Structure 1
Protein backbone atom coordinates (compact mmCIF):
# COMPACT_ATOMS: atom_id res chain seq x y z
CA UNK A 1 0.00 0.00 0.00
CA UNK A 2 1.34 3.45 -0.93
CA UNK A 3 0.99 6.67 0.97
CA UNK A 4 -0.69 9.55 -0.93
CA UNK A 5 1.02 12.16 1.27
CA UNK A 6 4.46 11.89 -0.32
CA UNK A 7 6.63 14.95 -0.75
CA UNK A 8 6.57 16.82 -4.08
CA UNK A 9 3.82 18.38 -6.16
CA UNK A 10 0.37 16.91 -5.97
CA UNK A 11 -0.56 15.06 -9.14
CA UNK A 12 -4.00 14.26 -10.44
CA UNK A 13 -4.68 10.54 -10.05
CA UNK A 14 -7.42 10.20 -12.65
CA UNK A 15 -9.21 11.99 -15.42
CA UNK A 16 -7.77 14.00 -18.32
CA UNK A 17 -5.09 15.54 -16.07
CA UNK A 18 -3.67 12.20 -14.86
CA UNK A 19 0.02 12.47 -14.06
CA UNK A 20 0.05 16.30 -14.29
CA UNK A 21 0.42 18.66 -11.36
CA UNK A 22 -1.90 21.63 -10.89
CA UNK A 23 1.03 23.95 -11.63
CA UNK A 24 1.71 22.14 -14.93
CA UNK A 25 -1.99 22.29 -15.82
CA UNK A 26 -2.17 26.05 -15.20
CA UNK A 27 1.08 26.65 -17.13
CA UNK A 28 -0.27 24.74 -20.15
CA UNK A 29 -3.48 26.76 -20.11
CA UNK A 30 -1.59 30.05 -19.89
CA UNK A 31 0.64 29.08 -22.82
CA UNK A 32 -2.53 28.67 -24.90
CA UNK A 33 -4.66 31.53 -23.58
CA UNK A 34 -2.15 34.40 -23.30
CA UNK A 35 -1.06 34.49 -26.97
CA UNK A 36 -4.70 34.23 -28.11
CA UNK A 37 -5.65 37.10 -25.80
CA UNK A 38 -2.81 39.28 -27.10
CA UNK A 39 -3.77 38.41 -30.70
CA UNK A 40 -7.40 39.40 -30.11
CA UNK A 41 -6.38 42.71 -28.52
CA UNK A 42 -4.07 43.52 -31.45
CA UNK A 43 -6.77 42.62 -34.00
CA UNK A 44 -9.32 44.78 -32.18
CA UNK A 45 -6.98 47.79 -31.87
CA UNK A 46 -5.92 47.69 -35.52
CA UNK A 47 -9.52 47.43 -36.75
CA UNK A 48 -8.96 44.07 -38.42
CA UNK A 49 -11.88 42.55 -36.53
CA UNK A 50 -14.19 45.31 -37.80
CA UNK A 51 -13.09 44.71 -41.39
CA UNK A 52 -13.49 40.92 -41.06
CA UNK A 53 -16.97 41.34 -39.59
CA UNK A 54 -17.92 43.75 -42.36
CA UNK A 55 -16.61 41.38 -45.02
CA UNK A 56 -18.61 38.53 -43.49
CA UNK A 57 -21.91 40.36 -42.87
CA UNK A 58 -22.16 42.88 -45.75
CA UNK A 59 -23.91 41.06 -48.61
CA UNK A 60 -25.10 42.32 -52.05
CA UNK A 61 -28.63 42.90 -50.72
CA UNK A 62 -27.18 45.07 -47.92
CA UNK A 63 -26.65 47.86 -50.47
CA UNK A 64 -30.41 48.51 -50.27
CA UNK A 65 -30.58 48.48 -46.44
CA UNK A 66 -29.66 51.92 -45.06
CA UNK A 67 -28.51 50.60 -41.67
CA UNK A 68 -26.23 47.93 -43.16
CA UNK A 69 -24.90 50.36 -45.77
CA UNK A 70 -24.10 53.04 -43.18
CA UNK A 71 -22.29 50.49 -40.99
CA UNK A 72 -20.28 49.33 -44.04
CA UNK A 73 -19.41 52.91 -44.98
CA UNK A 74 -18.45 53.70 -41.37
CA UNK A 75 -15.89 50.86 -41.44
CA UNK A 76 -14.71 51.83 -44.92
CA UNK A 77 -14.09 55.56 -44.31
CA UNK A 78 -12.37 55.01 -40.96
CA UNK A 79 -10.01 52.33 -42.27
CA UNK A 80 -9.08 53.68 -45.70
CA UNK A 81 -7.70 57.00 -44.47
CA UNK A 82 -10.61 59.27 -45.44
CA UNK A 83 -10.92 60.41 -41.82
CA UNK A 84 -8.88 60.05 -38.69
CA UNK A 85 -11.95 60.23 -36.47
CA UNK A 86 -13.21 57.28 -34.48
CA UNK A 87 -16.16 55.45 -36.03
CA UNK A 88 -18.46 56.44 -33.16
CA UNK A 89 -17.66 60.12 -33.76
CA UNK A 90 -19.11 60.09 -37.28
CA UNK A 91 -22.74 60.75 -38.19
CA UNK A 92 -24.10 59.60 -41.55
CA UNK A 93 -27.16 61.43 -42.87
CA UNK A 94 -28.90 59.60 -45.73
CA UNK A 95 -30.86 61.81 -48.14
CA UNK A 96 -34.06 59.82 -48.75
CA UNK A 97 -35.13 62.00 -51.71
CA UNK A 98 -32.35 60.81 -54.01
CA UNK A 99 -32.71 57.87 -56.43
CA UNK A 100 -31.03 54.47 -55.75
CA UNK A 101 -28.49 55.19 -58.50
CA UNK A 102 -27.27 58.36 -56.75
CA UNK A 103 -28.09 58.16 -53.03
CA UNK A 104 -26.36 61.05 -51.24
CA UNK A 105 -25.01 60.50 -47.72
CA UNK A 106 -23.48 63.40 -45.78
CA UNK A 107 -20.70 62.42 -43.38
CA UNK A 108 -20.62 64.69 -40.34
CA UNK A 109 -18.14 64.87 -37.48
CA UNK A 110 -19.74 64.74 -34.02
CA UNK A 111 -18.41 67.19 -31.47
CA UNK A 112 -20.13 65.88 -28.37
CA UNK A 113 -19.58 63.45 -25.51
CA UNK A 114 -16.21 61.71 -25.76
CA UNK A 115 -15.59 62.94 -29.32
CA UNK A 116 -13.01 65.68 -29.97
CA UNK A 117 -13.92 69.30 -29.24
CA UNK A 118 -17.22 68.64 -27.40
CA UNK A 119 -18.88 71.93 -28.38
CA UNK A 120 -22.04 70.34 -29.79
CA UNK A 121 -21.39 71.21 -33.45
CA UNK A 122 -21.67 68.86 -36.45
CA UNK A 123 -19.22 69.98 -39.16
CA UNK A 124 -19.66 68.30 -42.52
CA UNK A 125 -16.59 66.33 -43.63
CA UNK A 126 -17.69 65.20 -47.09
CA UNK A 127 -20.56 63.68 -49.09
CA UNK A 128 -20.76 60.13 -50.38
CA UNK A 129 -22.72 59.27 -53.53
CA UNK A 130 -23.82 55.64 -53.60
CA UNK A 131 -24.94 53.81 -56.72
CA UNK A 132 -26.77 50.94 -55.03
CA UNK A 133 -27.49 48.77 -58.11
CA UNK A 134 -23.87 49.05 -59.33
CA UNK A 135 -22.51 48.71 -55.75
CA UNK A 136 -20.24 51.73 -56.19
CA UNK A 137 -19.39 54.58 -53.82
CA UNK A 138 -17.93 57.97 -54.73
CA UNK A 139 -16.93 60.93 -52.57
CA UNK A 140 -16.48 64.66 -52.97
CA UNK A 141 -13.78 64.81 -50.29
CA UNK A 142 -11.29 67.53 -51.17
CA UNK A 143 -13.43 68.78 -54.08
CA UNK A 144 -16.99 69.64 -52.95
CA UNK A 145 -19.55 68.83 -55.63
CA UNK A 146 -17.06 66.91 -57.80
CA UNK A 147 -17.27 63.17 -57.08
CA UNK A 148 -14.49 60.60 -57.49
CA UNK A 149 -14.12 56.95 -56.35
CA UNK A 150 -13.32 56.42 -52.68
CA UNK A 151 -9.84 55.10 -51.83
CA UNK A 152 -9.63 51.38 -51.22
Structure 2
Protein backbone atom coordinates (compact mmCIF):
# COMPACT_ATOMS: atom_id res chain seq x y z
CA UNK A 1 0.00 0.00 0.00
CA UNK A 2 2.83 2.38 0.85
CA UNK A 3 4.33 1.71 -2.56
CA UNK A 4 1.04 2.62 -4.25
CA UNK A 5 0.87 5.90 -2.36
CA UNK A 6 4.50 6.65 -3.19
CA UNK A 7 3.86 5.92 -6.87
CA UNK A 8 0.81 8.19 -6.75
CA UNK A 9 2.90 10.93 -5.22
CA UNK A 10 5.57 10.50 -7.94
CA UNK A 11 3.06 10.46 -10.80
CA UNK A 12 0.74 13.13 -9.42
CA UNK A 13 0.68 16.66 -10.80
CA UNK A 14 3.58 18.90 -9.79
CA UNK A 15 1.66 20.55 -6.98
CA UNK A 16 1.49 17.33 -4.97
CA UNK A 17 5.15 16.44 -5.51
CA UNK A 18 6.34 19.88 -4.47
CA UNK A 19 4.03 20.16 -1.48
CA UNK A 20 6.25 20.93 1.54
CA UNK A 21 4.46 18.48 3.86
CA UNK A 22 5.28 15.50 1.64
CA UNK A 23 8.37 14.58 3.66
CA UNK A 24 6.28 14.41 6.83
CA UNK A 25 3.70 12.34 5.00
CA UNK A 26 6.38 9.84 3.97
CA UNK A 27 7.40 9.58 7.63
CA UNK A 28 3.75 9.10 8.60
CA UNK A 29 3.32 6.34 6.02
CA UNK A 30 6.44 4.60 7.33
CA UNK A 31 5.08 4.91 10.87
CA UNK A 32 1.71 3.46 9.87
CA UNK A 33 3.37 0.61 7.96
CA UNK A 34 5.46 -0.24 11.03
CA UNK A 35 2.60 0.05 13.55
CA UNK A 36 -0.57 -0.92 11.62
CA UNK A 37 -1.39 -3.69 14.08
CA UNK A 38 -1.46 -1.22 16.97
CA UNK A 39 -3.84 1.56 17.89
CA UNK A 40 -2.53 4.59 16.00
CA UNK A 41 -3.57 8.10 16.97
CA UNK A 42 -2.70 11.02 14.76
CA UNK A 43 -1.42 12.93 17.79
CA UNK A 44 1.06 10.14 18.65
CA UNK A 45 2.21 9.96 15.05
CA UNK A 46 2.63 13.74 14.84
CA UNK A 47 4.63 13.77 18.07
CA UNK A 48 6.84 10.95 16.77
CA UNK A 49 7.48 12.86 13.52
CA UNK A 50 7.80 16.23 15.27
CA UNK A 51 5.00 18.20 13.63
CA UNK A 52 1.67 19.67 14.61
CA UNK A 53 -1.27 17.23 14.51
CA UNK A 54 -3.44 19.50 12.36
CA UNK A 55 -0.61 20.12 9.93
CA UNK A 56 0.07 16.39 9.57
CA UNK A 57 -3.64 15.67 9.09
CA UNK A 58 -4.04 18.20 6.30
CA UNK A 59 -0.67 17.32 4.72
CA UNK A 60 -1.52 13.63 4.64
CA UNK A 61 -4.88 14.24 2.98
CA UNK A 62 -3.43 16.72 0.50
CA UNK A 63 -0.50 14.48 -0.50
CA UNK A 64 -2.28 11.10 -0.65
CA UNK A 65 -5.96 11.84 -1.11
CA UNK A 66 -6.70 9.78 2.02
CA UNK A 67 -6.92 10.60 5.69
CA UNK A 68 -4.42 8.74 7.83
CA UNK A 69 -7.30 6.63 9.16
CA UNK A 70 -8.48 5.69 5.66
CA UNK A 71 -4.92 4.72 4.72
CA UNK A 72 -4.58 2.66 7.91
CA UNK A 73 -7.81 0.76 7.18
CA UNK A 74 -6.77 0.10 3.58
CA UNK A 75 -3.42 -1.24 4.74
CA UNK A 76 -5.05 -3.41 7.41
CA UNK A 77 -7.51 -4.83 4.89
CA UNK A 78 -4.70 -5.59 2.44
CA UNK A 79 -2.67 -7.36 5.16
CA UNK A 80 -5.76 -9.24 6.37
CA UNK A 81 -6.55 -10.46 2.85
CA UNK A 82 -2.99 -11.69 2.49
CA UNK A 83 -3.18 -13.55 5.82
CA UNK A 84 -6.54 -15.09 4.92
CA UNK A 85 -5.21 -16.39 1.61
CA UNK A 86 -1.75 -17.48 2.75
CA UNK A 87 -2.28 -18.82 6.29
CA UNK A 88 -4.63 -21.01 8.25
CA UNK A 89 -5.06 -18.45 11.03
CA UNK A 90 -8.60 -18.16 12.34
CA UNK A 91 -10.53 -15.04 11.38
CA UNK A 92 -10.21 -13.89 14.99
CA UNK A 93 -6.41 -14.30 14.86
CA UNK A 94 -6.25 -12.47 11.52
CA UNK A 95 -8.33 -9.65 13.00
CA UNK A 96 -5.99 -9.39 15.98
CA UNK A 97 -2.92 -9.51 13.71
CA UNK A 98 -4.05 -6.42 11.85
CA UNK A 99 -5.13 -4.42 14.88
CA UNK A 100 -8.76 -5.35 15.49
CA UNK A 101 -9.70 -6.64 18.93
CA UNK A 102 -13.29 -7.22 17.88
CA UNK A 103 -13.80 -9.91 15.21
CA UNK A 104 -17.28 -8.63 14.35
CA UNK A 105 -16.02 -5.09 13.71
CA UNK A 106 -13.19 -6.52 11.60
CA UNK A 107 -15.57 -8.72 9.58
CA UNK A 108 -17.93 -5.82 8.94
CA UNK A 109 -15.15 -3.55 7.68
CA UNK A 110 -13.58 -6.36 5.64
CA UNK A 111 -16.90 -7.00 3.90
CA UNK A 112 -17.28 -3.28 3.15
CA UNK A 113 -13.90 -3.26 1.41
CA UNK A 114 -13.94 -6.66 -0.32
CA UNK A 115 -17.64 -7.32 -0.79
CA UNK A 116 -17.31 -10.67 0.99
CA UNK A 117 -16.91 -11.90 4.54
CA UNK A 118 -13.40 -12.96 5.59
CA UNK A 119 -14.50 -16.61 5.52
CA UNK A 120 -16.01 -16.33 2.03
CA UNK A 121 -12.93 -14.46 0.84
CA UNK A 122 -10.66 -17.23 2.14
CA UNK A 123 -12.77 -19.93 0.48
CA UNK A 124 -13.00 -18.15 -2.88
CA UNK A 125 -10.84 -19.56 -5.67
CA UNK A 126 -10.02 -16.20 -7.17
CA UNK A 127 -8.32 -13.26 -5.51
CA UNK A 128 -10.88 -10.55 -4.87
CA UNK A 129 -10.10 -6.92 -5.54
CA UNK A 130 -9.80 -4.39 -2.73
CA UNK A 131 -12.40 -1.65 -2.95
CA UNK A 132 -10.87 1.73 -2.21
CA UNK A 133 -14.19 3.22 -1.15
CA UNK A 134 -16.55 1.56 1.28
CA UNK A 135 -19.53 0.02 -0.44
CA UNK A 136 -17.82 -0.02 -3.85
CA UNK A 137 -17.87 -3.62 -5.00
CA UNK A 138 -15.43 -4.92 -7.59
CA UNK A 139 -16.59 -6.67 -10.73
CA UNK A 140 -15.21 -10.13 -10.07
CA UNK A 141 -18.24 -12.24 -10.88
CA UNK A 142 -17.80 -14.23 -7.68
CA UNK A 143 -20.43 -12.59 -5.49
Q: Which bin holds the TM-score, normalised by the shorter protein?
A: under 0.3
Please state which structure has a larger fraction of its residues in strand.
1
Q: Could you say which structure has the greater relative contact order, defined with CA pairs below 8 angstroms and 6 or more residues apart?
A: 2
For the pair shown, which has the larger CA radius of gyration, 1 or 2? 1
Normalised by the length of structure 2, the TM-score is: 0.25
Please state which structure has a larger fraction of its residues in helix.
2
